[in-house]
Amino acid sequence: MGTPPFIIVAIDGGAASGKSSTSRLLAERFNLLHVDTGSFYRQLTSELLRCSVAYTDITAIQSALTNLQLTTRLNGRSAQMLIGGQPAGDEIRGQQINANVSHYAAIPAVRAALLAYQRGQVDVAKQHGFRGLVMEGRDIGSVIFPDADFRFFLHADPIERAKRRAAEGRQDSIAERDRLDTSRKNAPLVVPSGATDIDSTFLTLEQVVEKLAALIAAKIT
């Protein structure tokens, strides 16, 4: 018996659709590196705001992004991005970032700055002995890994998603972020053709995970 083939699981979906909890549990179940690309866009947004670079100032954004030093360290099974050696702070989950992140994420230069870094997570996963990786975001199955072994898209009713955020005690601009993420020209939020579409509105987290895990297990064991 040789080493089992490396697997890539892509999970896309709108804000608060359950991607992170699902991805974390799948990472544990199948020994995968968990990569939350939304946290990368949040961290970059935080950095640009810290440098007072407005999302309307494309020239300033391009210059701030040159020489960006992006490295990775592990936080449990999750990939943590470091910018100039610094990890993200708790502020990336706050309302200021929620209100700004989709504006910055719509800018091609911002997406380009993260493209190779995201694909490079395959090497990080291999170096650390993971069996594969599960990457969550908006364009993973469409742009980052269109040939992923598994491509899932999670849907959930907007009212249910707002309830989930409220239950976590967090404020979020769910509808506005979805509107911006879906309507942008560059790598919009779409259900990639051929992806497995799952509506989690009436499912518990465990039921969603079981559904995805069964599909993965059926193909890899």
- Which residues are at the interface with ligand DC (CB under 6 A)? 15, 37-38, 41-42, 101-102, 105, 137-140, 177, 181
Min CB(29)–ligand DC separation in Å: 21
Min CB(180)–ligand DC separation in Å: 7
CB distance 15 to 172 below 8 Å? yes
Pick the closer one to ligand DC by CB: 77 or 138.
138
Pick the closer one to ligand DC by CB: 47 or 181.
181
Distance CA 32, CA 26 (A): 7
Min CB(176)–ligand DC separation in Å: 9
Distance CA 6, CA 104 (A): 32
Min CB(186)–ligand DC separation in Å: 9
Question: Considering only CA atoms, which of 110, 101, 103 is closest in space to residue 172?
Answer: 101
Pick the closer one to ligand DC by CB: 38 or 94.
38
Pick the closer one to ligand DC by CB: 34 or 177.
177
Longest dimension (CA), the chain: 55
Residue nearest to ligand DC (CB): 38
Exposure string over 99-134, b if 16+ CB within 10 A, otherwise e: ebbbbbbbbebbbebbeebbeebbebbeeeebbbbb
What is the SS3 assignment for 154? strand
Distance CA 19, CA 161 (A): 11
Min CB(79)–ligand DC separation in Å: 13
Pick the closer one to ligand DC by CB: 4 or 96.
96
